[in-house]
Amino acid sequence: MKLPFTGFFQDLHRFFAFKELVGLDIGTSAIKFVQLARGTTVPELVNYGILETTQYLERGNAALQTSSLKLTERGTAAHLAVLVREAGISGADVVASLPSFAVFTAPLEIPLVPPDETARLVSFQAKQFIPLPLSEVNLEWMKVEEFDNQRGTRYQRLMVTAVPIATIGVYQRICRAAGLKLVGLELEYQALTRAIADPAALPVLVIDIGAESTAIAIMDHGAVRQTGQTDYGGAALTQALARSLGVSAIRAEELKRRRGLLSVAGEYDLAVSLTPFLDVILQECMRVRGAFEDAHHVTTSGVMLVGGGANLPGIREYVEAQLGLPVTFPRPFGTIQYPPTLEPIAKSLMNELALSIGLGLKLLTPTP
């Protein structure tokens, strides 16, 4: 069950009125979107765009948003307006992403009781992990599974989230200023689940490496079971490389994207500078993985790398070696129809646009 955003989200039966929808991913250094249309069998890709800024590399306060839960409203709206104008999507209906660091999330286990009693129990328990009055957040939850405890009592495992109402208002104003119609918000990992998760798949550790943070989730049979987050991302790798080589952050970013962790004979081994910070990200991944495996007594079967950081050369081999698990990449293009002309760049686009595709699919496909 979920508590709706009163006057904001639309009822489920109205979701199917959308013939086209834009999935909007506002990150720390880039804004990405996909525009999907309802097709005869699967949604069709109509348009996509990526607007990236590198100013944050040299000025931290130039990031579009940070883990301090603040979204730079004026600057983000200005960047988004440019993308909207160049892509020709003014007036489009939009579902936007909420980063994991902008919400409060926690798993919760309570007895299996009727919905009204579940609502009361969730509201009472949520006060323990939400540092804001409940009147200032929108509280919702999703039932992950039912199980019997040691005494044979039927329980339900929920994933509870609380979104500050003020944060919702910021997203509404940004989209309105850019000429878009915000019709929904969704947590990043929920959208990713829709785009990349296989309902029949074994538990997978999903690592979404952004510019200034990394979102971590365990997906099991199409549902999110465990989440985590670290304030280290691609920017930390770039800054470390810039200090080691004595070059500008812009130049370090170019080298990172071109060579990554791959050694080149006769050249400085970039991995020496990059891996210590990448290891910090992987340590948090191992913590999330361990917490999930200890709680559910199952083994994680693999790793999926998502986001712009997934395009770092050599990252697949390094993560496999450090975590001891096979690494794959998302294939969200398998859920939509797209022009054959995109095939040569489909792999990199899938990493970049997986989240946007998941958002766009939210109101164009039936809810399971």
Q: Structural domains in the chain?
A: 12-237+271-361 (3.30.420.380)
CA 307, CA 191: separation in Å to the nearest integer? 13
pTM of the model: 0.79
CA separation (Å) from 277 to 115, 239, 284? 44, 10, 11
What is the pLDDT tens value at each position of the chain, 368 positions in all? 233 343 344 444 444 568 899 999 998 778 999 999 988 888 999 999 999 876 655 555 444 555 444 567 888 898 899 999 999 999 999 999 988 778 888 888 999 999 889 989 998 888 888 888 888 888 888 888 888 888 888 999 888 888 889 889 999 999 999 999 999 898 888 888 888 866 657 899 999 888 878 889 898 887 888 888 888 888 888 888 899 889 988 898 899 988 888 877 666 788 888 999 999 999 999 999 999 999 888 999 999 998 888 889 999 999 999 999 999 888 888 888 888 888 888 877 888 898 999 999 888 754 44
Q: What is the DSSP string of 204-243?
A: EEEEEE-SS-EEEEEEETTEEEEEEEES--HHHHHHHHHH
DSSP class of 200: T
CA–CA dist 336, 351 (Å, integer): 15
The strand ranges marked E within 81-180 are 93-98, 104-111, 137-148, 154-164
CA 284, CA 319: separation in Å to the nearest integer?
A: 13
